[in-house]
Amino acid sequence: PHVARLIAAGEVVSRPLDVVRELVENALDAGATRIEVEVEGGGLALVAVRDNGAGIAADAVALAPVRHATSKLEPTAGAVERVSTLGFRGEALWAAAQAGELHLVTRPAAQVGAAEVRASGEDVTVRRTSAPAGTAVTVRDLFARLPARLRTQAPPAAEVREITALVGRYVLHHPGLHWRLTVDGDPRLTHAPADHRGAVASVYGPLSANRVLRVDGEGVRGVVSRPELTRARRDRMHFSVNGRPVLAPPELERAVIEGFAELLPSGVAPLCVLDLTVAPEDHNPNVHPAKQVVALADLPGVAARVQGAVASALAAHPL
Ligand code: ADP
Ligand code: MG
């Protein structure tokens, strides 16, 4: 059972990137306006995420690292179909505590003292402390108890590249927040609240911000590159669905390109950052454990909205 538990945890958290994603999504779910991510040793030595969100009440904090304990689902049938938070399985902190050493300090703004939790395997200790409002979660020595997992990890520099890209995607899709990513003590990415254009500047550099036009359609908001400044960079099409960055289905990438119509030479893909809003029951984040693959009930309808919103943005800004 001990080994089975470790293996199950290693499936929820299979690399440092997963820890970063889960902790950032918890901070977003907590309504944070400031999210700071810290990584050391490619994330294997340390991943830390500090937020100024809602915090966890002292009487609930011992449950946070317990498997399947979540505060985000009503215990009723059908609740999972209507979920609007990024998390809902209650497995991330549990998995982090199995795969590494979890340390969490948290305080809701209205509560006087803070609580500190240390969890390592099944050992959980809670004590009182003091701390600013919000939550700071640190995961150290990831996979120290899972040597087989440790051996198959990417080199730290490669993992840091992916973590930087991931945090960049969160910045692009949540540009109204303060963000900071620190890697081995060096600031890698900082962003102060702005619009999507400001986020493009933070992630791709100030010059890129002048290359984009605002898209503001029904349930489709963000930016696309100006056609005359568009180059072939397929990796720069970013979509989120209800706040979660997702791997876009090819239909949505095609919809953006079709929105450009003849303005785009063939084989060229624009830069875009598009936030899609759909009714919770119209999308299923459950098709993939990392929830990055999204199943949209009405993909043709969403694609048509995307194409229309991009076309109107371009029409509003003639060359
Ligand atoms: P899930 O997000 O699926 O509920 P997690 O294991 O990620 O599961 O977190 C367990 C619980 O701990 C959450 O339901 C939430 O109540 C609490 N929690 C975790 N991180 C935070 C945070 N940064 N701020 C506030 N509460 C948090
Ligand atoms: Mg979570």
Residue 283 in this model has a pLDDT that exceeds 90:
no
- N-terminal to C-terminal alpha carbon distance within the chain: 64
Q: Are 87 and 72 in contact (CB under 8 A)?
A: yes
Of the listed ranges 98-107, 188-197, 289-298, the least confidently predicted one is 289-298
Of the listed ranges 19-23, 81-85, 300-304, the least confidently predicted one is 81-85
Residue 83 in this model has a pLDDT that exceeds 70:
no
As assigned by CATH, the class of the 207-316 domain is alpha beta
What pLDDT does 178 receive? 98
Query: Is the fold of 2-191 the same as that of 207-316?
Result: no
- Distance (Å) from CA 219 to ligand 2 centroid: 25
When pLDDT is averaged across residues 9-35 and rounded to a whole number, the result is 94
Query: Of the spans 20-34, 81-95, 257-271, which averages the highest pLDDT?
Result: 20-34
What residue ranges do the domains of the chain occupy?
Answer: 2-191, 207-316
Indicate the pLDDT class of residue 78, thresholds 50, 70 and 90: low
φ, ψ for residue 205, nearest 5 deg: 100, 155
Q: What is the largest CA-CA distance in the chain?
A: 64
Q: What is the CATH number of domain 2-191?
A: 3.30.565.10
- Distance (Å) from CA 86 to ligand 2 centroid: 7
What pLDDT does 319 receive? 60
Residue 289 in this model has a pLDDT that exceeds 60:
no
Average pLDDT, the chain: 89
When pLDDT is averaged across residues 43-69 and rounded to a whole number, the result is 93
Closest by Cα among 179, 203, 204, 209 to 191: 179
216-259 per-position pLDDT tens digit: 999 999 999 988 776 655 558 999 998 888 888 899 999 999 99
What pLDDT does 262 receive? 83
Q: Are 87 and 56 in contact (CB under 8 A)?
A: no
Residues with CB in 5 Å of ion ligand 2: 26, 87, 92
Strands (E), 22-150: 34-40, 46-51, 101-107, 114-120, 123-129, 134-140
Mutate to test the pocket of ligand 1, among 26, 37, 105, 135 (most ligand atoms within 8 A of CB): 26
Which H or E element spans position 225?
strand 220-225
Q: Which amino acid belongs to residue 128?
A: R
Indicate the pLDDT class of residue 12, thresholds 50, 70 and 90: confident
Indicate the pLDDT class of residue 96, thresholds 50, 70 and 90: very high
What pLDDT does 79 receive? 61
Residues whose beta carbon lies within 6 Å of some atom of ligand 1: 22, 26-27, 30, 51, 53-56, 64, 70-72, 87-94, 135
Ligand 1: which residue has its CA nearest to atom 16?
71
Indicate the pLDDT class of residue 68, thresholds 50, 70 and 90: confident
What pLDDT does 91 receive? 87
When pLDDT is averaged across residues 66-70 and rounded to a whole number, the result is 80
What pLDDT does 282 receive? 79
What pLDDT does 27 receive? 97
Quote the tokens at residue 289: 């454990």
When pLDDT is averaged across residues 282-297 and rounded to a whole number, the result is 69
Residue 284 in this model has a pLDDT that exceeds 80:
no
Q: Give Cα separations from 126 to 56, 58, 197 (angstroms).
A: 13, 9, 43
Residue 288 in this model has a pLDDT that exceeds 90:
no
Residue 189 in this model has a pLDDT that exceeds 90:
yes
Closest by Cα among 117, 133, 131, 135 to 51: 135
CB atoms within 10 A of CB 259: 26
Residue 1 in this model has a pLDDT that exceeds 60:
no
What pLDDT does 235 receive? 57
